A and B are shown apart, each in its own frame.
Chain A
């Protein structure tokens, strides 16, 4: 589904990613772990289409399509979803209006009919229940005045409504207490299916107790320095990142 080959990327002239290779197949959950500044969030943002990063070498294919040629909104319509590490507050745009515009843009792209108000509302209600969100949030401005946890929950709620084929979760666990973490993980797990894939970017192992990955990759200094199964995450938790830093800097 997602094939990243020899990806190099710069920000403001400095290279941050030094050749990433990663293959994610439908049905799989991959975790990307690594210390701060390793390039995890950069990778997530590049997949979503952030234009402040310059890809200097390499390719990203999504279902065989060259992702780097697509605008962020086209990537979203193709089925890529990025749950932000820091979701932005947008005063003046109601959650309802925003989500409806997003959903209908995606449906239109896929050649599906736009949802009418009743269909939209019943979909929204179902997914709000899944994420334990109260309906009054829908009438508020996007993320405005939300706590850190509410913002993260809202990201997963949006994901549940848009039902992407590849979900990229960027540090979704940060700012969540344990109960919220379980709810969020539950929302993510509900999306797991043989034709979807999930890429979990995280510093800590604890989210992976609830969203159990098939593969774990360790990113350090802009390279994947180690890949393995879910046990690798536990090893990292135990030993920290210092032991894997060495080979990357060689």
Chain B
């Protein structure tokens, strides 16, 4: 039966794709049209992944495939809802630049980019293509995360309409964090968005980025994001992803980060929302002396599914990578953590450490944890470990004997488990905001219907 779906994977999107290709306004550029065309034909060829694919075997994406979600009609969103959601996504006390997308489309009027340092670019893909950055964008877009990565990446490429572009020039320092905020509010029909983001951090430049997804409760939609990041020689990038999609929403995102020599990347992913969530985070360490950090926390309940696949490629010698992923699963939630570290033959003196820890708060929550080390160099230090456990009743009793009620004690211990990740957030207002989300998540109603 799966072959039927595969053969028809691109069909629901064909009319929309044809419309995009014939619309001169949505044309963006010749290179983009080629990338779309490649995406569409890859999708026709490959179809969407199914549980027969090794990398997708614990995640049932058929509700997404069957949903045949198309991009929403423009300008159908209710402004009041948009502003309310933006307010709830606001990080108290944070002074930042903001690039805002509503239902997949850039909203300059809601963005705040005043005072952006000269020669730094932050804005929409369309704007970037109409700027002197055009050739740089065309050179990199689709190169690091190719449509062939999987069916969703192919669909994203076929549907390219908008997305964020960030460019920090050589030696440039972004003086404030840059927020990319993707807001989804309900329109008449369930819909999809396909943000296509490109980030170019030039040699010795520095930036920190907060990528936020937030959806109106009850909204039915599918976010299918693809992000390509190039961190050049000696550059530093801190990246925080905060996924707070609506509880019934679907979220699939692939991020490809490429590091050049002596660069430093710290990527921290926080996943709270969504009914079916899949994150692919790939870090390609392609230059000597580079350091890459992948951290993450997923906190899910009800019938939420959250699947994280990370891949770290050590392609060159003398690099280090550190990875700590923690999961907190309640009710009937299901999680997957698949962490692959691939040490290429040349990558001598690699130092790679991966840890995955899961806290199960119910007897019916499930996690599949699968660390994978593939090492083709002979002088390396690579470790990995995975633990799965429950709240320690001795700890709960200890807190109770000090006057702290049982439920509160459990929340506190859950929070303590999460705090290992939360305290790594270097932007103070963001850390405080995430602390609040983590605490609130333990009190929120946990059961809902997809």
Contacts and interface: CB of A to CB of B under 8 A. Distances in A.
Contact of A73 (B394, B403, B412, B417): B403
Interface size band for B: 20 to 34
Contact of A93 (B392, B397, B401, B413): B413
B94 interface: no
A103 B403 CA distance: 8
Nearest to A93: B416
Nearest to B402: A102
A105 interface: yes
B395 interface: yes
A71 B404 CA distance: 10
B406 interface: yes
Contacts of B394: 88
A82 interface: yes
B398 A71 contact: no
A129 B415 CA distance: 30
Interface string A66-104: 000001110111000110100110111100001001110
A206 interface: no
A131 B395 CA distance: 24
Interface string B366-407: 000000000000000000000000001011011111111110
A50 B397 contact: yes
A162 interface: yes
A162 B402 CA distance: 8
Interface in B394-450: 394-395, 397-406, 408-409, 412-413, 415-420
Given A72-B397, A84-B398, A90-B395, A106 B403 contact: yes
A49 B403 contact: no
Contacts of A162: 402-403
Contacts of A101: 404, 408, 412
A92 B415 contact: yes
Contacts of B408: 101, 105
A73 B404 contact: yes
A124 interface: no
Contacts of B416: 90-93, 141
Contacts of A158: 402
A90 B398 contact: yes
A81 B401 contact: yes
B423 to A, nearest CB: 8
A105 B399 CA distance: 11
Contacts of A102: 399, 402-404
A48 B401 contact: yes
A87 B397 CA distance: 11
Interface size band for A: 20 to 34
A103 B395 CA distance: 17
A75 B405 CA distance: 11
B187 to A, nearest CB: 42
Contacts of A98: 399, 402, 412
Given A90-B413, A93-B412, A93-B416, A76 B406 contact: no
A102 B404 CA distance: 6
A71 B409 CA distance: 13
Contacts of B420: 91-92
Contacts of B417: 92
A90 B417 CA distance: 9
Contacts of A51: 397
Given A90-B416, A92-B416, A93-B416, A76 B400 contact: yes
Interface in B248-303: none
A199 to B, nearest CB: 14
Candidate in B394, B395, B402, B408 with the most chain A CB atoms within 10 angstroms:
B402
A62 to B, nearest CB: 14
A84 B394 CA distance: 11
A91 B421 CA distance: 13
Candidate in A87, A98, A103, A158 with the most chain B CB atoms within 10 angstroms:
A98
Candidate in B400, B409, B415 with the most chain A CB atoms within 10 angstroms:
B400
A98 B419 CA distance: 14
Interface string A53-67: 000000000000000
Nearest to B423: A92
A34 B419 CA distance: 42
15 contacts: A51-B397, A72-B400, A72-B401, A72-B406, A73-B401, A77-B403, A84-B401, A88-B398, A90-B416, A93-B413, A93-B415, A101-B412, A102-B399, A102-B403, A162-B403
Given A71-B406, A102-B399, A109-B403, 4 more contacts: A50-B397, A72-B400, A73-B403, A88-B398
